[in-house]
Chains A and B, each alone.
Chain A
Amino acid sequence: GENVEQHPSTLSVQEGDSAVIKCTYSDSASNYFPWYKQELGKRPQLIIDIRSNVGEKKDQRIAVTLNKTAKHFSLHITETQPEDSAVYFCAASRGSNYKLTFGKGTLLTVNP
């Protein structure tokens, strides 16, 4: 089955800096790659997703890039703010079999 590796497990940045979280996946048939943010004690919520026919997607301060050849994708957050502090999860799915496989998460801390 699919295996998703996520790095780093913890990331600490100063407010205003950029943060990058990287994920690799094993199943070359995966075609959907969402990112979820989970604040402490809350439910995961989708922040951005990308499909395999697209190399990059942006939404304000958040961007995701996908390299299908290398089987890795990354989350980029620019101009970080304290409210960006949370656990971020990447995930991968074939879509056709519905199984969404998550990485183990990255705890991002943005220091004021």
Chain B
Amino acid sequence: NAGVTQTPKFQVLKTGQSMTLQCAQDMNHEYMSWYRQDPGMGLRLIHYSVGAGITDQGEVPNGYNVSRSTTEDFPLRLLSAAPSQTSVYFCASNRDPNTEAFFGQGTRLTVV
């Protein structure tokens, strides 16, 4: 039982490049979400999904796209990377909203 798996762990992008951060969970959780963590800012919700085919915006969605074609996978796409998107990104999954969120190990992204 791997839990929540994110890839890659580290990534350096040039301004304007695009990329996809992968997230997969094997707990059959309906709820998945993406957060970014910046120093002194806590964890901020980017996008979330309440089930396959259903996604919605969080607090800081600009510059990011998501899709949820299966229960297991919830990729995050950066359309045109900017230095302001330098951050640590965490994917999480929950059985339902008022229960424990299980986080992936994080992706440290640097945009130069």
Residues of A that sit less than 8 Å from B by CB: 1, 6, 9, 31-32, 34, 36, 42-46, 49, 51, 89, 91, 93-105
Q: How far is the CB of B109 from chain A (nearest CB, A)?
A: 15
Q: Within 8 Å of chain A (Cβ to Cβ): is B98?
A: yes
B58 with A99: CB separation less than 8 A? yes
Q: Within 8 Å of chain A (Cβ to Cβ): is B22?
A: no
User: What residues of chain B lie closer than 8 Å to A45, measured between beta carbons?
Assistant: 103
Q: How far is the CB of A40 from chain B (nearest CB, A)?
A: 12
Q: Which of A1, A34, A42, A94 contacts B100 (CB 8 A)?
A: A34
Chain B, interface size category, equals 20 to 34
Q: Which of A9, A31, A46, A101 contacts B45 (CB 8 A)?
A: A101
Q: How far is the CB of A21 from chain B (nearest CB, A)?
A: 13
User: What residues of chain B lie closer than 8 Å to A102, measured between beta carbons?
Assistant: 35, 42-44
With A31-B98, A34-B101: A98-B31 Cβ-Cβ less than 8 Å: yes
With A43-B103, A43-B106, A44-B103: A98-B97 Cβ-Cβ less than 8 Å: yes
A–B complex contacts, Cβ < 8 Å, 29 sampled: A1-B59, A6-B42, A9-B40, A32-B98, A34-B100, A34-B101, A43-B90, A43-B104, A43-B105, A43-B106, A44-B43, A44-B101, A46-B100, A94-B97, A95-B98, A96-B97, A98-B33, A99-B45, A99-B48, A99-B58, A99-B59, A101-B45, A101-B59, A102-B43, A102-B44, A104-B40, A104-B41, A104-B42, A105-B42
